[in-house]
Amino acid sequence: MSTINVDQVLAQMRQLAAAAQGGQPEAVEAKGGGGDFAALLKQSVDKVNEMQKESGRLSEAFSAGDPNVDLGEVMIALQKAGVAFQAMTEVRNKLVDAYREVMSMQV
């Protein structure tokens, strides 16, 4: 069985926390400081999709009895994918609310 690298998990958690607080630094650098909202949104959705796929792959591998997949890894991957999906859903809800508010404004 493989062991979970605690330092790697902590580094990922710090990276996700930094991204949540201040945006994605690599996306801002790519646009010269401005950033493209649509590209950032697509990048975020793609990342959540990848997390979902990876957690599904790990879950299937563990169910199939792969000795290289640890239960802890599977559970962490599933939780990370679930939290990322919930966050994406909340962002979508806020965007829809903002759109409705803008559309209801009189010009």
- Tens digit of pLDDT for each residue in 12-49? 767 776 776 665 545 444 445 556 888 888 888 999 99
* Span 80-88, average pLDDT: 93
Kindly report the backbone phi and psi dihedral angles of residue 5, in degrees, each rounded to the nearest multiple of 5, phi listed first. Answer: -85, 105
Mean of pLDDT over the chain:
81
Q: Angle formed by the axes of helices 37-63 and 71-104, to 10°?
A: 150
| Residue 56 CB neighbour total at 10 angstroms | 13
Percent of the chain with pLDDT over 70: 73
Q: What is the pTM of this model?
A: 0.63
What would the pLDDT profile of 5-14 be if each residue is shown by its tens digit? 666 766 776 7
Question: Hunting for tokens 């649509």 — which residue is that?
Answer: 38
Query: Which pLDDT score is estimated for 49?
Result: 94
Task: Answer whether 80's CB lies under 8 Å from 53's CB.
Answer: no
Percent of the chain with pLDDT over 90: 51
What would the pLDDT profile of 62-73 be if each residue is shown by its tens digit? 999 999 999 999
C-alpha radius of gyration, the chain, whole number: 18
